[in-house]
Amino acid sequence: MSSITEVIVQNEKKTFVENVQKWLLYEQQLKLVTDKAKQIRESKNATTESICRYMQTHGLSQNKIKITDGELKICDRKEYSPLTYTYVEECLAKIIPEKESVEFIMDYLKQNREIKITREIRKTTNK
């Protein structure tokens, strides 16, 4: 190998090692941020429950709380459960009497759903 080729290979290897180190640093930083966000979300949810309970207990659930940049008010939000295969199958069974037809539809849905493949790096830890 010529010296220029060796230098190029060494530079590529150095860049590769640096990229792995960066990736590990990013992974660590994301874990810290994710953990902190989870803690904040849990604290916010507990505080939300406390505020809502107070407002309902004191007949303030229709009132709004003025804040510097707007207002807070209690709202009801609909949360739909996910469309699972079990749920879809149960619903189909209620409207289609032939079990074979329901099974055919379920097999079709399972075999023809869109699959997206993405390349990623997964970190495993030694135990």
Model confidence at 8, pLDDT cuts 50, 70, 90, reads confident
Q: In the predicted model, what is the mean pLDDT of the chain? A: 92
CA dist 5 to 1, 10, 12, 17, 52, Å?
6, 9, 11, 18, 68
What are the C-alpha distances in Å from 79 to residues 8, 52, 82, 102, 114? 56, 18, 9, 27, 25
- What is this structure's pTM? 0.67
Q: Between these two residues, 56 and 31, which has the higher pLDDT value?
A: 31
Residues 54-108: tens digit of each pLDDT: 998 998 878 888 899 999 888 888 999 999 999 999 999 999 999 999 999 999 9
